[in-house]
Structure 1
């Protein structure tokens, strides 16, 4: 039986950097550059971000970040799961961990931006209580973006 772990880890490890590159490549293939709102590795190492890594039998297969916005809300960033790790509930475990971290930090609401073509991700977010809303923070309206929010 496979062992799945979800833990806070630094984003600048070689196997995690490979995940982040795969995420960037995935989005670059779906959306124009100005529709990709990446959080860079240096920012993910900062005190305003909690970064989690999913490991399957020790191999990094997914990641996600919680950004504590100074305006008082949390934002989910950098959610990714390798194609071969999908369908095993790992994405839900990553998101559950990020939601728990947001709740521990008293961050409400919890928001995110994702792309219109990320259908599996949209389904996951909606199943955990995220609902559509307009742009937030520094985002501008974008026909390639879907903005979601979860309250409590």
Structure 2
């Protein structure tokens, strides 16, 4: 399967509260992780693989995406990914694992947020990601784009409220 990112670091910076000076290389790793772990579970491996291949073909040879893939990607996948990537990035950016252990980053002129503040902000992003995930799942089901044999993830829950919304 091609190594394609469905959103760019620029798109994330434009749509979320992520500063323009954040390292694109770090964001790319988080984007890739969210795609491979979370999005693949939502779409199921068949649709996920087809979408990745279609985007790779578009990048490499200039082919156009089908109307179905364009709609799924632009109206559902990208909005969900912005929030899901931002939620993961909040925690990953605050801490770095080094040979001296896990370190919390701070500037000399600024104070780091408390863990409670960081968790509250992450919960905000997680709730938004859950909302976009619900929209994406509803669209996939409505248009019969996933099958139960793909075993897609249809769990809509948020750690911040502990609720499970069955659709």
| Fold similarity call, TM over 0.5 | no
Q: Normalising to structure 1: TM-score of the pair?
A: 0.32
In our comparison, the structure showing a higher alpha carbon Rg is 2
Whose strand proportion is higher, 1 or 2?
1
Higher relative contact order (CA 8 A, sep 6+): 2
